[in-house]
Amino acid sequence: MTTNQGVPVADNQHSLKAGLRGPALLKDFILREKLTHFDHERIPERIVHARGSAAHGYFECYGPQTELTSAAPFREAGKITPVFVRFSTVAGERGSKDTARDVRGFAVKFYTDEGNWDLVGNNMPVFFIQDAMKFPDLVHAVKPEPHHQMPQAASAHDTFWDFVSLMPESTHMLMWLMSDRAIPRSYRMMEGFGVHTFRFVNARHESLFAKFHWKPLQGTHALVWDEAVKISGCDPDFHRRDLWEAIESGAFPEWELGVQVFTEAEAEQFSFDVLDPTKLIPEELVPVTPLGRMVLNRNPDNFFAETEQVAFCTAHVIPGIDFSNDPLLAGRIHSYVDTQLTRLGGPNFHEIPINAPIAPVHNNQRDGLHRQAIHRGRVSYEPNSLGGGCPFQAGAAGYVSFPEPVQQDEVRGKPEKFAEHYNQAAMFYNSQSPVEKAHIAAAFRFELSKLTVPAIRRRVVSMLRNVSDDLAAQVAEGLGMPMPDPMPRALSEAPKPEVDKSAPLSMFARPGVTGPASRKVAIFVGDGVDGNLVAKAGDALSKVGAVGRLVGPRVGLFTAKDGSQIEADASFENEPSVLFDGVIIPDGEGTAKAWTRDGRAAEFVKDQFRHLKTILAIGDSVTFVEGAGILRDEADPGLLLLSEPKADAFSLFIKALARHRHFERETDPPRV
Ligand code: HDD
């Protein structure tokens, strides 16, 4: 052990004192260095997206896309570009819970051989506002209210709904936020979107518009709200842990990157404006072209050095990628560097290892706080002759902005199509399955029930009347209020949308291909349990890549029916039901009796049932499950109550587990 000056430390346990019981001495440079450094360990957290988790990986190109773009990652089949990806919630502080109802950030840094490209997106393809001018207001409204700093990591409060109900352009995004997209099961099970329209530019400087999509191989899956609330208490790190454990265990999460490409002329024909970030382009209108796949295969070595210090920025583009005139994007191009100057303490944060490009850096920028590079020689200007003219400009081989003609009056305002706010909100709602629609209504009911100002509730429901009277009526009923009149529309005649319903907008459109792999299953254990069944259950799960954990009334050793010892990994107390995707309750007379007397065991299976998970109970355990109020229902494929240990018990369980949840079972209010 040494000091920061490299001096060996003899004793790291005791400060220097004048005698064993005497006063500590100011000249103790070792103590002072240690405390001073510690005092400065925290840096400001991100103003938004403070809570996040990240991983390393790579992007692999499917094939050359040089007709579309000269961007380095898309030049040839099999080309590998390293990436670092940070997922986040938006509103909560750095230590807040993972499972809040919120948008999730999906930020990807591509370390390409022509510099870093950051695709700083979200798990929703649209945004709340159309202009960066409104961003500080939006964030002030959603953050904890300034007089008492409540609530943390939640949009269910007056100021958020006050703002958005006065901002009809947020209607479409509110539909996404109230949908199950806002409570993902895992970061691995979310889509990602670049949101804005970007430009692809090819080597001939021809440009097409581009919208980016990340599609998860794991499928898009969500929590249910009651589960999300309970997870916040028992594991606020739920998503962080899930990502970490999946990567550690080799279940590397994977996404396909695709792009919607279209011409400016096509864009002009659309009923909406492609520069408006509150609108998406239905895949029926412009299909998604797959470009390659991204695999996350390495956890960071140090959270602070990598996940915390990483600095994403929409201005980080490479040759082949350019901006559109989306006014929200314009503000972002400024905002990210600006915030990082403060957050990372100066202009040299590009030298922090996680931010440093793998492409070499040569320029005449010098000095500044925390400069790491040691520039040699006397030349730091261009043009020069003393340095042999170096570094040279790259000319046409460098970044050349797309020469978009600009010939208009300077104005503050927006194009007419931006003023249509409800077509796509309605398209989103109409594209949802009945289950998803019910969850949207329940989410509005919950969020609005938390408001203290009835006028704000009325305003939101009046907004919803422009989306769906059916939805508005359900929300009004849930709040015990009469239906208000619809909110007046800005446009008397809305353009007719090309698409009323778009199948990919439902989460059910993408169940994924990895099935039960990486899903967590509790296997109940206790004294007298059938050890043979416990072992078989564990084997069956690991064969399909699912994770079985032995859960008992306490951790530690239990004696199975045949006298062998079984060690529980977790207890009903320290890993309750919400942390598992399914439960297997093996046979065992004594065990079933003990579980019947244990309220925590009953609560465990009730929550499994309520949260629509797969339950397998065998033999005596069936009595325990039924005693908890869960009645046999042959039509429920996720409720396997077997009086005998049938040979196909575990394969039936795994098949049911792969369905993620059994929504047929759901009632509002819940039955148990
Ligand atoms: Fe932003 C962070 C995504 C609009 C200003 N934003 C941030 C992060 C993500 C997004 C994923 C976290 C990156 C990380 O993990 O470090 N932001 C979006 C998306 C938007 C969006 C998809 C709309 C399409 N953002 C937006 C606007 C502004 C900002 C309009 C300001 C004008 N965003 C910021 C910021 C942050 C940030 C203040 C906070 C910390 C940071 O940048 O590094 O600059």
The span from the CA of 462 to the CA of 444, in Å, is 13
Catalytically active residues, by annotation: 49, 122
Same domain, 165 and 240: yes
> Are residues 12 and 32 part of one domain?
yes
Cα of 442 vs centre of ligand 1, distance in Å, is 29
Range of the domain at 243: 52-351
Which DSSP helix (H) or strand (E) runs through 117? strand 115-122
Phi/psi for 67 (5° steps) reads: -70, -30
* Last residue in a domain, options 455, 480, 509: 509
Tell whether the model's pLDDT for residue 16 goes beyond 90: yes
Q: State pLDDT tens for residues 423-458.
A: 999 999 999 999 999 999 999 999 999 999 999 999
Q: For residues 20 and 96, state if they share a domain.
A: no
| Separation CA 584–CA 551 (nearest Å) | 10
- In this model, does residue 588 exceed pLDDT 90? no
Strand locations in 62-101, DSSP E?
A: 80-89
How far, CA to CA in Å, does 349 sit from each of 106, 344, 359, 649? 21, 6, 16, 56
Residues 503 and 576 in one domain: no
Task: Using the mean position of ligand 1's atoms as its centre, give its distance from the Cα of residue 549 in Å.
Answer: 38
Q: How far is CA 98 from CA 47, 52, 143, in A?
A: 17, 8, 16
Q: 284 in a domain, yes or no?
A: yes
State how far the Cα of 423 lies from the Cα of 432, in Å rounded to an integer: 15
- Convert the pLDDT of each residue in 239-287 to its tens digit: 999 999 999 999 999 999 999 999 999 999 999 999 999 999 999 999 9
Ranges of H-type helices in 308-433: 327-343, 423-430
Judge if the beta carbon of residue 135 lies within 6 A of ligand 1.
yes
- Does residue 405 lie in a domain region? no
Tokens 């870093």, residue?
116
Q: Is the ipTM of this complex over 0.90?
A: yes
CA of 121 to the centre of ligand 1 (A): 8
* 643, part of any domain: yes
CA angle 397, 398, 402 (to 5 degrees): 105
The response to whether residue 104 sits with its C-beta less than 6 Å from ligand 1 reads no
CB-ligand 1 contact for 46 (6 Å cutoff) = yes
Give the C-alpha separation, 72 to 498, whole Å: 35
Q: pLDDT (tens digit, 9 = 90+) per residue, 466-485?
A: 999 999 999 999 999 999 99
Same domain for 67 and 30: no
467, 175 Cβ separation under 8 angstroms: yes
Q: Is 105 in the pocket of ligand 1 (CB under 6 A)?
A: yes
* Number of separate domains in the chain: 4
The candidate with the shortest Cα–Cα distance to 51, out of 236, 207, 235, 268, is: 236
* Same domain, yes or no: 204 and 232: yes
Mean pLDDT score, 1-10: 96
Distance from Cα 200 to the centre of ligand 1, integer Å: 22
CATH number of 625's domain: 3.40.50.880
Is the beta carbon of 280 within 6 A of some atom in ligand 1? no
Separation of alpha carbons 462 and 368, rounded Å: 53
Provide the pLDDT for residue 458. Answer: 98
Tell me, using a 6 A CB cutoff, whether residue 48 lines ligand 1: yes
Give the residue whose CA is nearest to atom 30 of ligand 1: 132
Residue 461 lies in a domain: yes
Confidence label for 590 from pLDDT (cuts 50, 70 and 90): confident
Residues 6+ apart with CB under 8 A from 313: 118, 120, 336, 337, 340
What residues does 298 pair with on adjacent strands?
A: 56
80 CA to centre of ligand 1 in angstroms: 27
Q: Which ligand 1 atom minimizes the distance to the CA of 196?
A: 24
From 299, 331, 351, give the residue that closes a domain.
351
- Domain final residue, candidates 477, 509, 541: 509
Domain for residue 386, yes or no?
Answer: no
Residue 422 corresponds to which amino acid? Y
Helices (H) and strands (E) in the chain, counts: 17, 18
What is the CA angle 6-10-16, rounded to 5? 105
Nearest CA to ligand 1 atom 19: 121
What is the pLDDT of the chain when averaged over all its residues?
97
The enclosing H or E element of 260 equals: strand 254-262
Cis peptide before 415 (omega within 30 of 0): no
* Tokens at 112, concatenated: 């390409």
Answer whether 139 contacts ligand 1 (Cβ < 6 A).
no
CATH of residue 200:
2.40.180.10
Taking only the tens place, the pLDDT of each residue in 306-327 is 999 999 999 999 999 999 999 9
pLDDT tier at 86, thresholds 50, 70, 90: very high
Residues 113, 241: one domain? yes
Protein residue with its CA nearest to atom 9 in ligand 1 = 105
Whether the per-residue pLDDT at 407 is higher than 90: the answer is: no
Report residue 631's pLDDT band, with 50, 70 and 90 as the boundaries: confident
Give the residue, out of 43, 46, 213, 308, with the most ligand 1 atoms within 8 A of its beta carbon, to mutate for a pocket test: 46
How many Å lie between the centroid of ligand 1 and the Cα of residue 629?
47
**SS3 track for 296-342:** EEECCCCHHHHHHCCCCCCCCCCCCEEECCCHHHHHHHHHHHHHHHH
Shortest-distance Cα residue to atom 1 of ligand 1: 332
Cis peptide before 669 (omega within 30 of 0): yes
Are 502 and 614 found together in one domain?
no
CATH number for 21: 4.10.91.20
459 and 572 housed in the same domain: no
Q: What is the pLDDT of residue 587?
A: 93
Cα angle 260, 263, 268; round to 5? 110
CATH number for position 484: 1.20.1370.20
Q: Write the single-letter amino acid at 317.
A: V
Same-domain status, 329 and 427 = no
User: Above 90 in pLDDT, residue 528?
Assistant: yes
Question: Per-residue confidence at 589, pLDDT binned at 50, 70, 90?
Answer: confident
Exposure string for 350-388, b = 16+ CB within 10 A, e = fewer? bebebbebeeeeeeeeeeeeeeeeeeeeebeeeeeeeee
Q: What is the mean pLDDT of residues 476-497?
A: 95
Among the atoms of ligand 1, which is closest to the Cα of residue 338? 44
In a domain, 651, yes or no: yes
Contacts of residues 156-161 at CB distance under 8 Å and 24 or more positions apart, as own/partner, are: 156/101, 156/446, 156/447, 156/450, 156/451, 157/450, 157/451, 158/451, 158/452, 158/453, 158/456, 161/447, 161/448, 161/451, 161/456, 161/457, 161/460
Give CA–CA dist 298/635, Å, rounded. 42
- CB of 335 shorter than 6 A to ligand 1: yes
Rounded distance from Cα 94 to ligand 1 centre (Å): 15
Between the two ends of the chain, the Cα-to-Cα distance in Å is 58
Cα 127 to Cα 106: distance, rounded to the nearest angstrom: 14
Ligand 1 pocket check for 193: Cβ under 6 Å: no
Could you tell me if 605 and 577 are in contact, meaning their C-beta atoms sit under 8 angstroms apart? yes
Tokens of 32: 């002072």
Q: How far apart are CA 29 and CA 402, in angstroms?
A: 57
Q: Is the CB of 62 under 6 A from ligand 1?
A: no
Looking at the structure, tell me whether residues 2 and 145 fall in a common domain: no
How many Å apart are CA 362 and CA 515, to the nearest integer? 48
Q: Which of 49, 328, 350 to mutate to test the pocket of ligand 1 (most atoms within 8 A of CB)?
A: 49
236 in the same domain as 175:
yes
Residue 388 lies in a domain: no
CA 460/CA 464 separation, integer angstroms: 6
267 is a domain residue: yes
Residues ≥6 apart with Cβ < 8 Å to 615: 582, 583, 585, 605, 608, 609, 625, 630, 638, 639, 640, 641
Backbone angles phi, psi at 571, to 5 degrees: -120, 165
For position 7, what pLDDT does the model report?
96
